[in-house]
Amino acid sequence: MPLVLDGNRVRDQIKSELQPRVAALTAKGRPPGLAVVLVGHHPASEIYVRGKVKASQDLGIFSETLTPPDTISTGELLALVATLNTRADIDGILVQLPLPPQVDTRRVLLAVDPDKDVDGFHPLNVGRLVANMPGPRACTPAGILELLKRYQIPIAGRRAVVVGRSDIVGKPVALLLLHEHATVTICHSKTPDLPAVCREADILVAAIGRAAMVTSDFLKPRVTVIDVGMNRVENRQDAERIFAGAPDKLAAFEQRGSVLVGDVDPRAMRELSSAYTPVPGGVGPLTIAMLMANTVASAERRSGLC
């Protein structure tokens, strides 16, 4: 039986390690502070933000959510970010994406003080990642590395294949794996014979955003699979095809009219891998945990504790 890489377990470990650090900062004068900017009403974003606020409260981190209307202009949002940059009680700023179409997203993200960029998206922090210098790392990729290390999955000398080249997951996780001495290949929509390239992987990271696209043809036996995808299947035929032999998932589909699946076919993953992340409950919980870790680390730097 393959090893299930339980993201909830690792999340709880990280949170327990952060608690004394938060207590030390609070005793020195104030708790770490996180500001979340949530523009308008985007249901998925609202769910994510609620999770971030709850995690902050659980740890004793001060959290403030700012909710400007979706009619906000780029200039108004830049002014809001500039105010947060100057606030001494805020150590981390997170601008929840996506932003409304009239807002210049790149300008807004560039306006965030790099020392308060707890998402790790600012070009200065991306440069620190490329150079393997200290700094905040993108949360999902950092969570993937924590998961691999805490489950003692070997990385050095292994062949890692990353499917997906986004700035949020694909590129940064490839760099993190490279810094851990893996040999890394990044694949994308123009990669010839994608299944053959993926079959070379000892560690396969799937971050494509297409439900169960990675089938058994992509997996060599004993591969470690990190499934970053979170796709909602609402078509009955697709659900029956993907979850054939999984009555619990089909029952959930009947009850809710949809079911979540990653980018990797779940049956192929269970049958061929040596270790894998479930969906949900794998990579997802670690994204928020690493956001908390970045916020605490930022507070420690700004307070002189590290």
Catalytic option among 15, 96, 115, 117: 96
* Main-chain dihedrals φ then ψ at residue 149, nearest 5 degrees: -70, -40
Q: Any catalytic annotation for residue 89?
A: no
Report the C-alpha gap between 264 and 225 in whole angstroms: 8
The 3 state secondary structure assigned to 25-84 is HHHHCCCCEEEEECCCCCHHHHHHHHHHHHHHHHHCCEEEEECCCCCCCHHHHHHHHHHH
Q: Any catalytic annotation for residue 96?
A: yes
DSSP state of 2: P
Report the C-alpha gap between 32 and 22 in whole angstroms: 7
DSSP state of 264: B
State whether the Cα torsion 286-185-180-127 is positive or negative. negative
Catalytic option among 119, 202, 227, 265: 119
- Residue 212's nearest CA partner among 265, 135, 287, 278 is 265
187, β-bridge pairs: 163
Q: Any catalytic annotation for residue 15?
A: no
Catalytic option among 52, 116, 171, 249: 52
**Alpha helices, H only, the chain:** 7-28, 43-59, 74-86, 105-111, 123-130, 139-150, 170-179, 194-198, 236-242, 247-256, 266-272, 284-303
User: CA 42, 46, 48: angle at the middle one, nearest 5?
Assistant: 120
Report the C-alpha gap between 230 and 228 in whole angstroms: 7
33, β-bridge pairs: 62
Q: Which positions are catalytic? A: 52, 96, 119
